[in-house]
Amino acid sequence: MSPLDPPSATDALHDRRTAIAALGADLRALVEAAVRTGAPDEVLLLAAKEAQHLTALLTVRPRGRAEVPEVDVFPGGIRMYSPVTGAGSPLAPPLQIETVDDGAVVGTCTLGVAHEGPPGYGHGGVSALLLDEVMGWACSYAGQPGMTIELNLSYKRPVVLETPLRVTARVTERHGRTNLVHGTIATTAAPRTVLVEAEAVFFAPAPDQARALFPSLRDPA
Ligand SMILES: CCCCC/C=C\C/C=C\C/C=C\C/C=C\CCCC(=O)SCCNC(=O)CCNC(=O)[C@H](O)C(C)(C)COP(=O)(O)OP(=O)(O)OC[C@H]1O[C@@H](n2cnc3c(N)ncnc32)[C@H](O)[C@@H]1OP(=O)(O)O
């Protein structure tokens, strides 16, 4: 199975993921509304009370810090709460891993005002986040899921908000457990105009390193 294939899911798992994604979508809408709102102070204070109520509602059997959620496939698969791809994360755009095209992984997403750096444009750290993720997927697709050990970025043009983006990544060289990866961000409308370019080094931990890093990983081989 390619790491980009959706895992087979039971009905219960499918229902759980659907519910998580529904909450994630509404939380993202809430975050975007909150950072754009012109509502009066009393409305903000009322919304803060409502947010406290929601937090209390959701603080039930919280998972442990290093626990892999039961809805995830780790490594190399679906991550429901990833801050980049997670349908359940209010922080994620979320980015969709779309295709594997001739060895390159392609992801698409649209940034909102919540991801703003300079007015109207994406935060440079958010571009790094998108690239790091898709470059990581390229390593997984190449059969070496790994961790970033170096990430260098060249910001060529600002990344416009509310505009569909295309993020690509490809492993260019492999040296043992180390992979060199090239990545780009462009708009889907002008995929040849590179806005941000990245070069990264990823390291695929050996099974004993992986066990030490990720205790909930049962079979790192
Ligand atoms: C096989 C099972 C795999 C298990 C799963 C593993 C990973 C899965 C992770 C994600 C996959 C899922 C989805 C992908 C999506 C997104 C990707 C996001 C990626 C990230 O967001 S990830 C967070 C940021 N990332 C870190 O948090 C890494 C911190 N780091 C370390 O935890 C250690 O560094 C570690 C464990 C990597 C190595 O452990 P270590 O250092 O003890 O091992 P060692 O000494 O053997 O070094 C090995 C070779 O890396 C070279 N090296 C090390 N560090 C370097 C550096 N900074 N610069 C240049 N070279 C460096 C050495 O020079 C040597 O190179 P050489 O082999 O050529 O001598």
List pLDDT tens digits, range 77-131: 899 999 999 999 999 999 999 877 787 999 999 999 999 999 999 999 999 999 9
Domains and CATH numbers, the chain: 1-221 (3.10.129.10)
Contact (CB, 8 A) for 207 and 221: yes
Report CA 176 to chain centroid distance, whole Å.
Answer: 26
Tally of residues, the chain: 221
Q: What is the ipTM of this complex?
A: 0.89
Q: Can you tell me which residue has the tokens 């505009």?
A: 163
List pLDDT tens digits, range 151-181: 999 999 999 999 999 999 999 999 999 999 9
Query: Mean pLDDT over residues 21-46, rounded?
Result: 98
Mutate to test the pocket of ligand 1, among 82, 85, 144, 149 (most ligand atoms within 8 A of CB): 149
Mutate to test the pocket of ligand 1, among 147, 148, 151, 177 (most ligand atoms within 8 A of CB): 147
Q: What is the H or E stretch that residue 55 is in?
A: helix 41-58
Separation of alpha carbons 69 and 99, rounded Å? 25
